[in-house]
């Protein structure tokens, strides 16, 4: 070592003891350790008690995120979500605040709150953002140390910790209520029902219900529950009755209850009530059931009791006094052999008979016994007109056969019954229905259909469519005709014509044409003898006579065969037809103007009938007048003709004389003369007829 070295080799500080050497800095890690341990202990202490909740599924539950809340305050956190050993359920492990865990009873309820939309409203909306949470509900109990719970699948309607009374309701079927349906007391919602469940035997439904305090004090053993779901329509003596309860109950269904009579006992939790169909049934059920000293009577019926059932009313003058408690058929030995009797047991409420509520049964029976001696009888009666339900009616029949209570059982005296008048009612109704049945409704309908079809066809036909126009035209024509001067002047002309005809006939008579004819014939007979010589000369003359005669006959025939009668008949039938048409209901139903038109037509036809066929008549009269004139002319010339005939006959006589009596000329002449005579007779007939009835020229009658 060549380096220079200082004199003092080592510098060392004073040596201190180990304790004095110990630095204060060690306090720092100590403090840090203490603080850390403190924090750790606090965390451990605060992490709460572990509980396990079993759920069907863990929808939405996330470890370390899903909280457990009690009264909406976070009291715990889900730690893990695992399966049960058999994978059948999900076990949710959670830490719950220690102070809460201390009060957690075994029946604490846990359920997962998630958004829910139901008829009752929307719940759990906040969980849409924050995620689901587990709600706990329990009634805190100190010292509770339960750690395993079974979670509910649904939000419970009634949470433990709510004050009120739990009851059970029995019903025939569960259609009328859904879980959460409200229970009303005089219109105020005081409770809820839970999910209905089937009875084990399957013959009914029970549902738990919860009535909140303080309304639960209104529930006694005399309380009756009834269904107010939806709405009800009643048609009865009081008219139409439509009752709708709250809209909510329309959707969810609902129950109502009331305690009508006093005297019920307070109920315990879980007391079971029956559900009645409606308020009326519920109130009716109150009778008899709450009375301890109701009297049981037995009565027997010979007739069918269809419609009578257990629970049917027993009425006295319309008042309900009891109900049927039992019904059955019994075989009874009688003198005629075995006989089936229908026996009903009636429970009579003494209060309804005006007796004291506390009166012993014996008193009531005695009272009834007296009434029976006075004629009180049981009888079946229809409950109402519209259904087949029967009630037992107690009636007083003063002239009933004397009877007393029979003895059927120790405390069920036999009340004599009388046949009801039910069958008559039924028979009457049946008869009525039979009669209605027998009405030829089908035929009537068919006919109506046919008629309508015919009317339709008629209406559719072109003829009918043009008919109104034609009718109007006809009516107008007729009106014009009737209004015309010619028609107005017609009567006068008729009178004149008739007068002229009469004159003609007078002339005819005065001229004594017949006598002259006879004379002429006689002269002709005479002349026939002389005629022989001039036979050839007179050939043409004799040929001319038959032609004249033919003309006369034709004229007469024409006058005779004027078809007035046919025309008038057809007009009459047309009128009748029109009349019938107008009388038909269908025609009446035609529009009013058509009716009016038809009326006009009828009037026109009436006028035609009355004044009638004026034009034709006019023409006819004109021709008749011509004919008359011709006849007159003929009548004027008749004497000349007669004279000429006479002369002719005189001449022919001579000719005929020259001929043998049996010659053919003679026979011809005789025939000609006969024809002349018949022509003359026809003329005479015509003249008479015209004289007797001038109208016949017009009407052919």
Least Cβ distance, residue 23 to another protein (angstroms): 4
In the complex, minimum distance from the CB of residue 150 to another protein, in angstroms, rounded to a whole number: 28
Q: How far is the CB of 4 from another protein (least distance, A)?
A: 8
Number of residues that bind another protein (CB under 8 A): 30
Cα angle at 137 between 131 and 141, to 5 degrees? 140
C-alpha dist (Å) from residue 49 to 89, 145, 183, 195, 700? 22, 10, 39, 33, 133
C-alpha torsion 168→172→178→182, nearest 10: -50
Give dist(CA 262, CA 302) in Å, integer. 40
Cα(447)–Cα(365) distance, integer angstroms: 67
The residue from 2, 3, 143, 188 that contacts another protein (CB under 8 A) is: 3
Is there a contact between 353 and 367 (Cβ–Cβ < 8 Å)?
A: yes
Determine which residue in the list 17, 43, 410, 536 makes contact with another protein, applying CB under 8 A.
43
Residue 31 contacts another protein per CB under 8 A: yes
Least distance in angstroms from the C-beta of 10 to another protein: 7
Q: Please, what is the minimum distance in Å from the beta carbon of residue 111 to another protein?
A: 20
| Binder among 2, 8, 142, 268 for another protein (CB under 8 A) | 8
Q: What is the distance between the terminal CA atoms of the chain, rounded to a whole angstrom?
A: 195
Out of 22, 452, 589, 670, point to the residue binding another protein (CB under 8 A): 22
Which segment (23-31, 111-119, 346-354, 489-497) binds another protein by CB under 8 A?
23-31
Among 2, 17, 19, 25, binds another protein (CB under 8 A): 25
Output the smallest distance, CB 247 to another protein, in A. Answer: 34
604: closest CA among 629, 582, 627? 582
CB nearer another protein, residue 33 or residue 449: 33
- Please pick, from the candidates 29, 161, 572, 577, the single residue that binds another protein as defined by CB under 8 A: 29
The closest of 58, 83, 71 to 151, measured between CA atoms, is 58
Contact region for another protein (CB under 8 A) — 25-33, 181-189, 212-220, 231-239?
Answer: 25-33
Three-state SS string over 126-144 comes to CHHHHCCEEEEECCCCCCE
Considering only CA atoms, which of 46, 178, 48 is closest in space to residue 104? Answer: 48
CB of 130 to another protein, least distance (A): 4
Compute the Cα dihedral for 38, 40, 41, 46 and give only its sign. Answer: positive
Among 26, 318, 333, 442, contact with another protein (rule: CB under 8 A): 26
Q: Please, what sign has the CA dihedral across residues 474, 479, 483, 487?
A: positive
Contacting residue, 21, 203, 410, 536, with another protein by CB under 8 A: 21
Residue 578 to residues 570, 604, 659: CA-CA distances in angstroms? 12, 12, 69
Q: From the CB of 155, what's the least distance to another protein, in Å? A: 20
Q: How far apart are alpha carbons 419 and 429 in whole angstroms? A: 19
Residue 583 contacts another protein per CB under 8 A: no
Nearer to another protein, 4 or 354 (CB): 4
Task: Compute the least distance from the CB of residue 162 to another protein, in Å.
Answer: 27
Q: Which is nearer to another protein, 14 or 540 (CB)?
A: 14
Residues 6+ apart with CB under 8 A from 107: 138, 160
For residue 242, give every residue at least 6 positions away whose Cβ sits within 8 Å of its Cβ, in sequence order, or none.
Answer: 231, 232, 233, 234
Segment lying near another protein (by CB under 8 A), choices 36-44, 156-164, 361-369, 411-419: 36-44
> How far apart, in whole angstroms, are the C-alpha atoms of residue 471 and residue 478?
10
The set of long-range contacts for 216-220, using a CB threshold of 8 Å and a minimum separation of 24, is 216/164, 216/165, 216/190, 216/191, 217/266, 218/185, 218/257, 218/259, 219/165, 219/167, 219/257, 219/259, 219/266, 219/267, 219/271, 220/259, 220/263, 220/264, 220/265, 220/266, 220/267
Element containing residue 31 per DSSP (H, E): helix 27-46
Which one, 11 or 88, has the nearer CB to another protein? 11
Compute CA distances 415 → 551, 642, 696, whole Å.
112, 121, 93
What are the φ/ψ torsions at residue 7 (nearest 5 degrees)? -70, -50
431-453 burial code (b ≥16 CB/10 A, e <16): eeeeeeeeeeeeeeeeeeeeeee
Q: Does 36 bind another protein (CB under 8 A)?
A: yes
6 vs 143, beta carbon nearer another protein? 6
Among 2, 7, 188, 338, binds another protein (CB under 8 A): 7
Q: Which span (27-35, 298-306, 323-331, 673-681) binds another protein, by CB under 8 A?
A: 27-35
Which member of 46, 65, 396, 543 binds another protein (CB under 8 A)? 65
Positions 72 through 131 that interact with another protein (CB under 8 A): 126, 129-131
Does 33 bind another protein (CB under 8 A)? Our answer is yes
Q: How far is the CB of 187 from another protein (least distance, A)?
A: 39
Stretch that binds another protein, among 4-12, 346-354, 408-416, 459-467 (CB under 8 A): 4-12
Using the rule CB under 8 A, give the single segment among 35-43, 222-230, 303-311, 415-423 that binds another protein: 35-43
Q: How far is the CB of 118 from another protein (least distance, A)?
A: 24
Binding mask 125-164 for another protein (x = CB under 8 A): -x--xxx---------------------------------
Contacts with another protein, residue ranges (CB under 8 A): 3, 6-13, 16, 21-23, 25-26, 28-29, 31-33, 35-36, 39-40, 43, 65, 126, 129-131
């Amino acid at each position: 070592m060549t380096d220079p070295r200082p004199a003092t080799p080592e510098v060392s500080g004073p040596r201190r003891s180990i304790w004095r050497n110990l630095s204060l800095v060690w306090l720092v890690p100590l403090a840090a350790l203490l603080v850390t341990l403190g924090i750790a202990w606090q965390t451990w202490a605060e992490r709460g008690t572990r509980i396990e909740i079993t759920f069907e599924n863990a929808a939405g539950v996330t470890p370390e995120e899903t909280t457990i809340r009690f009264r909406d305050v976070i009291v715990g956190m889900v730690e893990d979500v695992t399966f049960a050993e058999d994978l059948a359920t999900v076990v949710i492990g959670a830490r719950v605040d220690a102070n809460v865990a201390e009060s957690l009873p075994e029946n604490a309820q846990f359920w997962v709150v998630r958004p829910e939309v139901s008829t009752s409203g929307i719940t759990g909306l906040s969980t849409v953002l924050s995620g689901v949470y587990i709600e706990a509900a329990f009634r805190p109990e100190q010292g509770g140390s339960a750690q395993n719970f079974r979670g509910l699948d649904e939000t419970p309607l009634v949470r433990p910790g709510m004050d009120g009374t739990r009851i059970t309701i029995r019903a025939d079927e569960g259609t009328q209520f859904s879980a959460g349906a409200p229970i009303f007391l005089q219109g105020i919602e005081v409770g809820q029902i839970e999910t209905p469940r089937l009875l084990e035997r399957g013959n009914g439904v029970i549902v738990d219900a919860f009535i909140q305090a303080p309304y639960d004090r209104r529930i006694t053993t005399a309380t009756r529950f009834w269904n107010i779901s939806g709405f009800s329509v009643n048609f009865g003596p009081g008219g139409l009755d439509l009752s709708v309860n709250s809209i909510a109950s329309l959707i969810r269904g609902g129950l109502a209850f009331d305690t009508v009579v006093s005297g019920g006992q307070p109920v315990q939790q879980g007391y079971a009530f029956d559900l009645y169909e409606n308020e009326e049934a519920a109130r009716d059920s109150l009778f008899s059931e709450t009375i301890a000293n109701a009297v049981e009577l037995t009565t027997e019926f010979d007739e069918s009791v269809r419609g009578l059932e257990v629970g049917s009313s027993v009425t006295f003058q319309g008042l309900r006094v009891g109900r049927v408690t039992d019904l059955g058929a019994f075989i009874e030995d009688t003198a005629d052999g075995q006989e089936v009797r229908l026996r009903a047991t009636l429970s009579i409420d003494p209060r309804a008979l005006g007796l004291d509520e506390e009166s012993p049964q014996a008193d009531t029976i005695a009272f009834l016994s007296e009434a029976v001696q006075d004629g009180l009888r049981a009888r079946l009666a229809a409950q109402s007109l519209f259904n087949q339900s029967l009630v037992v009616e107690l009636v007083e029949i003063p002239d009933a056969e004397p009877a007393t209570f029979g003895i059927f059982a120790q405390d069920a005296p036999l009340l004599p019954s009388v046949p009801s008048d039910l069958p008559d009612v039924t028979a009457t109704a049946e008869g009525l229905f039979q009669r209605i049945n027998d009405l030829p409704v089908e035929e009537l309908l068919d006919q109506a259909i046919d008629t309508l079809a015919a009317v339709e066809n008629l209406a559719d036909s072109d003829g009918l469519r043009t008919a109104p126009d034609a009718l109007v035209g006809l009516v107008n024509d007729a009106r014009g005709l009737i209004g015309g001067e010619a028609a107005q002047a017609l009567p006068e002309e008729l009178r004149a014509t008739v007068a002229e005809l009469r004159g003609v006939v007078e002339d005819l008579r005065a001229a004594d044409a017949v006598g002259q004819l006879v004379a002429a014939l006689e002269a002709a007979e005479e002349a026939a003898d002389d005629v022989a010589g001039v036979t050839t000369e007179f050939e043409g003359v004799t040929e001319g006579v038959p032609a004249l005669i033919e003309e006369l006959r034709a004229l007469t025939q024409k006058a005779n065969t004027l078809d007035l009668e046919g025309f008038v008949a057809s007009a009459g039938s047309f009128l009748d037809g029109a009349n019938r048409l107008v009388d038909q209901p269908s025609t009446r139903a035609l529009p009013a103007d058509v009716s009016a038109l038809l009326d006009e037509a009828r009037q026109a036809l009436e006028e035609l009938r009355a004044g009638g066929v004026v034009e034709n008549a006019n023409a006819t009269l004109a021709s008749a007048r011509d004919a008359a004139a011709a006849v007159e002319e003929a009548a004027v010339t008749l004497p000349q003709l007669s004279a000429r005939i006479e002369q002719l006959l005189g001449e022919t006589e001579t000719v005929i004389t020259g001929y043998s009596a049996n010659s053919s000329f003679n026979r011809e002449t005789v025939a000609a003369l006969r024809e002349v005579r018949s022509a003359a007779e026809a003329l005479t007939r015509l003249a008479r007829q015209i004289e007797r009835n001038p109208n016949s020229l017009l009407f052919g009658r």
